[in-house]
């Protein structure tokens, strides 16, 4: 049987791609300006993390009633988030929803394959088809999700070519990667988060976001990935899947 989202979405290592996905999102000018002007996630990154992970985990592992509940929460939160600036931002814009879903899919697969190895064509096709739910649950039309991985690759190349990192996007990225407030443990984990995020981005986007990189960092990044690939899959599954259990339990307690 091919892999499904239920098989991989609770792997804690996928969180390593979270900041990469956010930087890709805000590099699309409409999304970047909307986040900069209408979101407080850089002021409270833990709440943003909690909400995003709860949404993703409930989509994959929740009941129909739980999925309906959390998509209702997200849609109500997105309701007032719109702007007439140039470029205009609307949290319900299908093309912008598609890009957000695409960054989450691409980042998850990028990390998964670096740790567990290349997916077989059947596994890759199965996971790709399922990931459409990340956008369709929030009103993105199902037919907007590119029909297959080849079509997605074309969409990805075209969209990435049109990304533009401006001062607002850089400000959001600095606030995200260098939080001024928050618990000490958050500040302690940010150096490895910044390092992994930079390594997972293209050289062009690293430069655009002013993320330092050189040959020494590149070698260290490759060593880090080799260690992760050797160690992480051998960890107990209960440990690897703790974040998913934690956020699902928290969501269910809140829902009650």
Cβ–Cβ under 8 Å, residues 36 and 44: no
**Dihedral in degrees, nearest 10, Cα atoms 227, 229, 230, 232:** 100
| C-alpha–C-alpha distance, residues 244 and 31, integer Å | 27
Instruction: Give the pLDDT of residue 239.
Output: 96
Q: How many domains, the chain?
A: 1
Instruction: Give the pLDDT of residue 129.
Output: 96
Cβ–Cβ under 8 Å, residues 141 and 133: no
Instruction: Give the pLDDT of residue 75.
Output: 77
Terminal alpha carbon distance of the chain? 35
Q: What is the pTM of this model?
A: 0.91
The dihedral built from the CA positions of residue 30, 92, 53 and 161, taken in this order, carries a sign that is: negative
Instruction: State which residues form the domain around 150.
Output: 5-255
Cβ–Cβ under 8 Å, residues 145 and 98: yes
**pLDDT < 70 stretches in the chain:** 36-45, 78-91
Instruction: Give the pLDDT of residue 92.
Output: 72
Rg (CA), the chain: 18
């Amino acid at each position: 049987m091919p892999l499904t989202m239920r098989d991989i979405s609770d792997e804690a290592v996928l969180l390593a791609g979270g900041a990469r996905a956010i930087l890709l999102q805000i590099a699309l000018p409409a999304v970047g300006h909307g986040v900069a002007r209408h979101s407080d996630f850089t002021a409270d990154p833990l709440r943003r993390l909690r909400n995003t992970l709860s949404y993703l985990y409930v989509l994959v592992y929740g009941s129909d009633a739980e999925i309906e509940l959390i998509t209702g929460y997200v849609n109500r939160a997105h309701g007032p988030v719109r702007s007439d600036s140039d470029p205009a931002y609307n949290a319900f814009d299908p093309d912008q929803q598609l890009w957000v879903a695409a960054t989450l899919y691409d980042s998850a697969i990028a990390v998964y394959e670096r740790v567990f190895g290349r997916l077989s064509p059947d596994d890759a096709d199965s996971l790709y088809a399922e990931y459409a739910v990340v956008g369709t649950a929030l009103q993105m039309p199902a037919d907007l999700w590119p029909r297959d991985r080849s079509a997605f690759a074309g969409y990805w190349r075209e969209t990435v070519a049109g990304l533009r990192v401006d001062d607002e996007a850089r400000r959001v990225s600095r606030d995200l990667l260098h939080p001024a407030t928050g618990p000490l443990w958050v500040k302690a984990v940010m150096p490895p988060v910044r390092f992994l995020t930079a390594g997972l981005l293209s050289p062009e986007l690293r430069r655009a976001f002013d993320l330092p990189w050189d040959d020494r960092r590149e070698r260290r990044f490759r060593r880090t990935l080799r260690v992760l690939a050797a160690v992480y899959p051998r960890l107990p599954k209960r440990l690897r899947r703790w974040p998913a259990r934690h956020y699902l339990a928290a969501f269910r307690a809140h829902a009650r």
